Structure 1
Amino acid sequence: MEENKNPPVPEQSSVQGKIKILIVEDEEIIRKLYVEELRDQGFFMLAATNGKEGLEIALREKPDLILLDILMPVMSGLEMMDKLRAEGGQYGKTVSIILLTNLSASEEKIMQGVAKNEPAYYLIKSDWNLSDVVEKIKERLARKE
């Protein structure tokens, strides 16, 4: 897969609400599906195709929640989460992150990376449909209010 040479540009929409969600997902069809659904639900959407872009957008825009894939080119979701938690100040330490991945939680190395960064949820894509993930997002955001 070829690295995108263009600077990261968030996919944004005009929104009635102020809640910002960043999705970091390299699979275009999944990314667009979530952006469209969550935008329709009234969220301000930001999107990135890899962890490097996602980290830049997260630090600049400070979204209320990050929906993060693990396996991506350039920088993995686990590496992005590590850097965000370590370098993002108070925001980086406390922002809600939902991992949405194809990886099962059985791999020890993955679980060590996940556990130390305390994501809100670890969801396996094949086990969750779009509306269930949207409900988890709303549930997590409601806890922050």
Structure 2
Amino acid sequence: MSGRSVLLIEDDELLSGLLVKKFSEKGFKVYTTYRAEEVRTILENTHIDIIGLDLLLPGLDGFTFLEEMKKDEKFKHIPILIMSNLGQREEIERGLLLGAAGYIVKANSSPSSIVEKAEELFG
């Protein structure tokens, strides 16, 4: 499948680089940022099919960002896959209740498995 695009919101440069490589290998066009505040500008100017979201970011936290995105009529349709080391049941449940399409605990996942999960969200 080609023509798919992903926006990775991740402040770990090493992981971000690995994810860019893995998503690109699967035919995704990849956009990255480490600041949730920059996402709206990217979304206004670029077609994004899925968002990979780290919860622990500088500035706006991931939960607040997720909540705001799911309330925004222009962007609420974009599936958001949480990629976080916050792995407690309460955190996972909170993310899913706020509208995340999926939740991956990074410490338990490889970059390849994160890409596989994102691909599953395409159906």
Matching residue of 1:29: 14
Indicate the SS of the match to 1:132. Answer: helix
2:101 corresponds to 1:103: no
- Report matched runs for 1:1-145 at 5 Å: 17-87=2-72, 89=73, 91-107=74-90, 111-112=93-94, 114-141=95-122, 143=123
> CA 1:59/1:78 → structure 2, altered by over 3 Å: closer, same or farther?
farther
1:12-48 per-residue CA deviation (whole Å, 9 max, x = no partner) reads xxxx921110000011111111012111221111111
- Output the CA distance in 1 between the equivalents of 2:119 and 2:96: 22
RMSD: 1.9
CA contact (8 A) 2:66 2:99 kept: no
Please give the TM-score of this superposition, normalised by the length of structure 2: 0.87
Indicate the SS of the match to 1:137. Answer: helix
Please give the TM-score of this superposition, normalised by the length of structure 1: 0.75
CA contact (8 A) 2:80 2:100 kept: yes
- Output the CA distance in 2 between the equivalents of 1:106 and 1:116: 12
1:59-81 per-residue CA deviation (whole Å, 9 max, x = no partner) reads 43241000000000011111211
Q: Which runs of 4+ in 1 moved over 4 A?
A: none
State the shift of 1:107 in Å: 4.0
Give the number of equivalent residue pairs. Answer: 123
What is the percentage of aligned positions where both structures have the same residue?
Answer: 26
Q: Which runs of 5+ in 1 are unaligned?
A: 1-15
